[in-house]
């Protein structure tokens, strides 16, 4: 099969996901992506970006980015796999003459539907996408259930069809080739924290760490962001006491991260609705344990992983970890490299790519699921 992955966001996590699958797949997989958009979601800009991606599709098919009925398409894919964040209705309208007969699937790394505070415009766009997609794939079952429940409240008829057409495919990742960081964590409570740009994640971070801050527990944060300048502007919204604990913002691929990771106790996932855990899985595979809140995708992928309930629970974890107590050794995920490598082995692309391949091939054979 020829599968085209259409990525409207172009982040490292999505690129790593697509490239890892392509390297291990029996299918021919091509990724077409737009660069990340630093601005908040906007319907007009979302439509413009969908049309830009449509032009990128039209050019390799016809040799021209503009519609031309005299040009016949060549080399059409067997399947379009669109990643979340695209105005699918606008894209479909712009490419109907070229791709009208090609099955259109969506893989949801993330979504607004099902979030506690969803953006109405994004929710409307996702409802429209669910209406026209032939298949909906989610990276976790909890994500799928929350999405369908929110969709049911907006459009029961679409939700009924989407429930039948949807399934779960866990995220795959490529285990890093480098060895684990060998240095033991320092007495000071150093923690890595992944910030993916969602402003709501700042509220979650504040709620999670406020008790530890109020108790005067000695800890520091190193934020990881694919866009450090933008993250710096957003992190100015944190309260001054918590902002004082934030010692830096680094890109996850910055070599400087290695030094801080070796000194850190854990990588914090403070948002229970985090649905793109590729970075987290890559760090865990190098021996840095993820600390996840209840309801996170990571907790679903690793059901035996202990999770913290609230900020008070997390404060106990931080305090016990810093003191090196026996309680922390039994209750909190360890730093053992072998433990995480084994736990995450099922999601390595070398193991999970065949499941993806079979899902796509079955869809092509059966038509619309």
Residues 160-196: pLDDT tens digits? 999 999 999 999 998 877 666 656 666 668 899 999 8
- CATH 3.40.50.2000 positions along the chain are 2-173+348-366, 189-346
Helix ranges (DSSP H) in the chain? 12-24, 43-62, 88-99, 120-132, 141-154, 156-165, 199-214, 228-235, 240-243, 256-263, 278-284, 297-301, 311-323, 326-331, 337-343, 349-366
- For 189-346, CATH gives 3.40.50.2000
More confident residue, 143 or 200: 143
- Identify the pLDDT of residue 45: 82
pTM: 0.89
pLDDT at 312: 93
> For residues 319 and 325, what is the distance between their CA atoms, to the nearest angstrom?
9
More confident residue, 148 or 342: 148
Which helix (H) or strand (E) segment holds residue 190: the answer is: strand 189-194
d(CA 120, CA 334): 40
> Across residues 247-272, what is the average pLDDT?
87
Tell me the C-alpha distance between 158 and 149, whole Å. Answer: 11
Q: Find, among 105, 85, 92, the residue nearest to 57 by Cα.
A: 92
The full DSSP string for 120-187 is HHHHHHHHHHHHH-SEEEESSHHHHHHHHHHHHHH-HHHHHHHHHHEEE-PPPB---SSPPP-SPPPS
* Cα four-point dihedral sign 95, 99, 104, 108: negative
pLDDT cut 70: percent of the chain above it: 88
The pLDDT, as a whole number, for residue 363 is 53
Of 255-259, 269-273, 323-327, give the lowest mean pLDDT range: 323-327
Per-residue pLDDT tens digits for 283-342: 888 878 888 888 888 888 888 788 888 999 999 888 888 776 655 556 666 656 677 778
Contacts of 90 (CB under 8 A, 6+ apart): 46, 47, 50, 51, 54
Instruction: Kindly state the DSSP code that residue 348 receives in the 8-state scheme.
Output: B
The fold of 2-173+348-366 is: Rossmann fold (3.40.50)
Among 308, 310, 287, 301, smallest CA distance to 348 is for 301
Say which residue the tokens 């929350």 belong to. Answer: 146
- 3-class DSSP assignment, residue 252: coil
Query: In the 8-state DSSP scheme, what is residue 225?
Result: -
HEC letters along 53-79: HHHHHHHHHHCCCCCCCCCCCCCCCCE
């Amino acid at each position: 099969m020829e599968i085209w992955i259409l990525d409207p966001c172009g982040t490292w996590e999505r690129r790593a996901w697509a490239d890892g699958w392509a390297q291990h797949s029996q299918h021919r997989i091509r990724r077409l992506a737009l660069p990340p958009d630093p601005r908040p979601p906007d319907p007009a800009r979302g439509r413009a970006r969908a049309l830009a991606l449509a032009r990128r599709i039209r050019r390799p098919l016809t040799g021209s980015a503009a519609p031309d009925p005299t040009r016949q398409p060549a080399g059409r894919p067997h399947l379009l796999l669109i990643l979340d964040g695209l105005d699918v209705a606008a894209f479909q309208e712009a490419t109907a003459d070229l791709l009208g007969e090609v099955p259109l699937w969506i893989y949801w790394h993330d979504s607004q539907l099902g979030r506690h505070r969803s953006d109405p415009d994004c929710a409307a766009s996702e409802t429209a996408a669910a209406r026209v997609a032939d298949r909906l794939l989610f990276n976790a079952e909890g994500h799928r259930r929350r999405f369908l429940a929110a969709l049911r409240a907006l459009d029961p008829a679409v939700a009924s069809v989407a429930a039948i057409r949807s399934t779960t495919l866990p995220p795959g990742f490529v285990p890093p080739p480098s060895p684990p960081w060998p240095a033991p964590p320092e007495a000071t409570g150093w923690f890595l924290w992944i910030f993916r740009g969602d402003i709501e994640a700042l509220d979650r971070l504040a709620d999670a760490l406020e008790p530890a801050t109020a108790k005067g527990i000695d800890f520091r944060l190193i934020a990881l962001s694919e866009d450090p300048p933008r993250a710096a502007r957003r992190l100015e919204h944190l309260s001054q006491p918590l902002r004082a604990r934030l010692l830096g913002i680094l890109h996850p691929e910055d070599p400087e991260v290695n030094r801080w990771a070796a000194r850190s106790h854990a990588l914090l996932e403070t948002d229970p609705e985090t649905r793109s855990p590729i970075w987290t899985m890559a760090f865990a595979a190098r021996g840095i344990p993820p600390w996840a809140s209840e309801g996170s995708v990571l907790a679903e992928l690793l059901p035996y992983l202990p999770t913290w309930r609230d900020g008070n629970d997390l404060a106990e974890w931080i305090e016990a970890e810093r003191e090196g107590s026996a309680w922390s050794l039994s209750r909190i995920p360890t730093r053992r490299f072998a433990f995480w490598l084994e736990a995450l082995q099922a999601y390595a692309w070398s193991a999970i790519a065949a499941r993806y391949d079979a899902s796509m091939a079955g869809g092509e054979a059966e038509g619309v699921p």
